Amino acid sequence: MDGETQNLVAELTRALETWHLSEGDHGWTARTHFMVRLLKADGSWDEVVHDWEVADRDGDSEAALWCAWVHAERGDPAGAREALERAARRGEPAAWWLLYTTHARADANRTELRSAYEQARTEHRRALEAADSVGDAKAARRVGAYLLAEAVIARQTGDQALAERQTEQGVAALRRAVDRGSAEAAALLGDRAAEEFPQHPEPDEDRHQRAQPWYQLADERGHGRSAWHCGLILAARGDTVEAEAAYRRARARGDAQAVSSLAALLARRPSDSAGAEAAHRLAADIGYAPDAHTELGAYLRERGDLTGAEGAFRRAVERSEPNAATQLRYLYRQHPHLRPKS
């Protein structure tokens, strides 16, 4: 991948993250990056891309954005820009933002593009509200996310009355979306219910009780991240069998966080050593956790596979994982015969 393409991929990723943060989808870029790696490892990535390409051909603006990301990752900046143009022509404000940040249009300067982006976003917001008013679930979800994001800004600027009003309206919009079948809206309501504000600390179980019904509903509708959240709540309550099932559902839907959680859960069961090792290796391969290779090394050391543990710790050191060098030195102290001959 040449320098121009690498820069385009980086700009696309940053711009998409900015856009999705404005819609209340925190951590989108990290989750997407590792979701892609997991789907590739599982062999289902091509099927997902095919679905986006079909939806793009059918005129879906968000699918065109995803296709732009795929083209950029494949080293095809021209294809990425064409996909962005398609999304922009379909009225997708995120596409205008991407075009603005990536200099993708030669016939307009940055000021004009920013103006076009702001105008497109305003028009898109109005179109969403109109679609919401006639029963569109996706529109209601995005209206709700807009309002909750604006409520955060209002709270940060000290306008508590506006923040409360926008929060109330945002939650109402998300509830409308849930009533219309939206899994994403249920997940957002679960996220909000699970929040613990510093000024109002409370036990985890209280937050879990509020959030679980929303996450469970989203899980039932096929939402990967919500299945992972359900697994965390179930594991915290000691229901490891159901937690494992939830993690496996999340993993099958492309949620990379579930891989590390599943590995940790299986590692506590001696009878599941093969499954635990496979999960640890997959977690290390996709690299979602910052210490995935270190965790793999620790697991292999506990299982008595010292050579495998040494290899995992060495890879962890190469990747500058925290505590990896300490673990490798400890392994050499305990088993000097493994130390490389100088």
Task: Of 184, 6, 10, give the one whose Cα is nearest residue 98.
Answer: 10
Q: What is the pLDDT of residue 61?
A: 80
How many Cβ atoms sit within 10 Å of the Cβ of residue 311? 15
Task: Of 107, 92, 74, give the one whose Cα is nearest residue 2.
Answer: 74
- Whether residue 152 is predicted with pLDDT greater than 70 in this model: the reply is yes
More confident residue, 337 or 45: 337
User: Which regions of the chain carry the CATH code 1.25.40.10?
Assistant: 256-342
- Whether residue 201 is predicted with pLDDT greater than 60 in this model: the reply is no
Mean pLDDT of 253-280: 80
Mean pLDDT of 47-64: 86
Q: What is the pLDDT of residue 314?
A: 92
Asked if CATH classification 1.25.40.10 holds for the domain at 256-342, the reply, yes or no, is yes
Mean pLDDT of 283-287: 72
Residue type at position 323: N
- Whether residue 24 is predicted with pLDDT greater than 70 in this model: the reply is no
- Whether residue 81 is predicted with pLDDT greater than 70 in this model: the reply is yes
Please state the φ and ψ torsions of residue 216, each to the nearest 5 degrees. -65, -40
Mean pLDDT of 195-215: 70
- Whether residue 168 is predicted with pLDDT greater than 90 in this model: the reply is yes
Statement: the pTM of the whole predicted model exceeds 0.85: no
- Whether residue 245 is predicted with pLDDT greater than 50 in this model: the reply is yes
Q: What is the pLDDT of residue 27?
A: 43
**What would the pLDDT profile of 82-134 be if each residue is shown by its tens digit?**
888 888 888 776 677 667 665 544 455 556 666 766 676 677 778 889 999 99
Q: What is the pLDDT of residue 198?
A: 40
Q: What is the pLDDT of residue 101?
A: 61
Task: Of 251, 193, 238, 201, give the one whose Cα is nearest residue 217.
Answer: 193
pLDDT-derived band at 180 (thresholds 50, 70, 90) equals very high
CA 241, CA 131: separation in Å to the nearest integer? 42
Mean pLDDT of 207-231: 93
